[in-house]
Structure 1
């Protein structure tokens, strides 16, 4: 087992994973530098979510290695991986998963309070990020009374308020209209850059690559250099060209 390069905050080698005997990752390797924004692109079903979950320790890879700051995540037990996600990682889902009984600032402050941060400090951090994301006016409103774009901004604020070392964003604009999604992406990435947060961003459209420092593409669980997926023809079939 060889330790990763010192300048990579995340490093993975030859990751393999299967869902119900169906390959989801097939030998994926990559490194992410500190403060870098990496876009993981590809069509739906290409393995983007599985890759992020393996990198974050949500799913233990069946084969391969995952390192975080030269610490082998792939050898950690489930409790150690859970602490790592709580203390060092942030996560944004495609749909805003908020607690309906808590208001906006309480949802945004929740990860900090779970770490043991005082309610006062957690509230201050949450309110700061809600303001930065132009959702401060809804700080005391509960999620059921808010629109989907507003709820997604709260989810982004929740991920950023805890100042994670690495933020995993899994299709964070999938539930938004294109203009709203582009604005959330710009805000997310500019906030991450200003705080030196490393971001691994999964997306299936070109907007993600425009805000990222670098991108990698997946197709059927494998890394590819380029992916071209033409619109489906009337016969329901279209050729697929790729270079690997």
Structure 2
């Protein structure tokens, strides 16, 4: 086994290869993600962005190569180990919300906290806080079937953030949203990550959204084509003002 990655890399991949039914999706990708960083992975549809996030988040086993999380090997874990890692350490937001239809918005957001052993009061308090921060507090008692897609997606973002996982993966999370709503949700997502020192790995094909990241890398045909230009934080990014910063949770 090779040496572990640098201590300041919360995620680290070396030479990862992944195919889907014989079709190459990743072709020897190596990447480090620093603790507390907001990293955007860009590229056209079909470039391997979702597969890369799947491998980094332990959703998909790699065919070849190594993936590390906090200096612990992920690529050697079996299915049960990968499931525990995702449940206990990672948050995930996809382009579809995948909410539990029988549960209200509040119950959906509280669910991962309850599964992790949090008490009911703490779980529901956190759920209420995050729904308010995403401007959907009034929908707490509403079930997903009565909501429009943009509202459901905000609930999915709140659900990913409520447990304050060390790493949040966001795979094209604003795809179903109108531009104004997409910008607002991404501002909240990135500012929440920074205020809580979470690492955020964001995959997007929208070049307008990468300005919210600290750094970008580009994927084309399953290969990294080199880092994009650094993107400044905070005031240099349009719309990022002190008013949008998310305060630390009172828990």
* Match of residue 117 from structure 1: 118
- TM-score (norm: length of structure 1): 0.91
Q: 2:146: which partner in 1? A: 145
Deviations 1:168-194 (A, max 9, x none): 000000111122111111111011111
Aligned to 1:84: 85
Contact 1:12 1:64 (C-alpha < 8 Å) held by counterparts: yes
Shift of 1:146: 1.1
For residues 156 and 203 of structure 1, the distance between their equivalents in structure 2, rounded to whole angstroms, comes to 15
Q: Answer yes or no: is 1:107 the counterpart of 2:108.
A: yes
- Larger Rg over CA atoms: 1
Distance 1:190 1:99 in 2: 27
Which position in structure 2 is the counterpart of 1:222?
A: 223
Once the two structures are TM-superposed, the CA of residue 69 in structure 1 deviates from its matched residue by 0.3
**Residue 9 of structure 1: aligned partner:** 10
Aligned match of 1:126: 127
Aligned counterparts, 1:165-180, within 5 A: 165-180=166-181
Q: Is the partner of 2:177 in helix, strand or coil?
A: coil
SS at match of 1:216: strand
User: Is 2:81 the counterpart of 1:48?
Assistant: no
List gaps (5 residues or longer) in structure 1: 228-244
2:36 corresponds to: 35
Q: Name the structure 2 match of 1:60.
A: 61
**Structure 2 residues not aligned, in runs of 5+:** 229-251
User: Which deviates the most, 118-127 or 65-74?
Assistant: 118-127
What is aligned with 2:244? none
Post-superposition Cα deviations, 1:41-87, rounded to whole Å, max 9, x if no partner, equal: 00000000000000011111000000000000001111111111101
- The answer to whether the 8 A contact 1:89-1:165 is kept is yes
CA RMSD of aligned residues (A): 1.1
Cα offset, 1:226, TM superposition = 7.6
| Cα separation, 1, equivalents of 2:226 and 2:10 | 23
Q: Deviations over 1:84-109 (max 9, x none)?
A: 11010000010111111100010001
In structure 2, how many angstroms separate the alpha carbons of the residues matched to 1:4 and 1:208?
Answer: 29
User: 1:225 offset after TM fit, Å?
Assistant: 3.1
Question: Equivalents in 2 of 1:161, 1:117: separation in Å?
Answer: 11
Aligned residue runs from structure 1 range 178-193, under 5 A: 178-193=179-194
Contact 2:105 2:144 in 1 (8 A): yes
Q: How far apart, in 1, do the equivalents of 2:78 and 2:117 lie?
A: 22
Show the counterpart of 2:241: none
Cα distance in 2, alignment partners of residues 178 and 221 from structure 1: 28
Moved over 3 A (4+): none
Residues 182, 207 of structure 1: 8 Å contact kept: no
Name 1:236's counterpart in structure 2: none
Q: Return the TM-score normalized by structure 2.
A: 0.89
1:197 aligns with 2:189: no
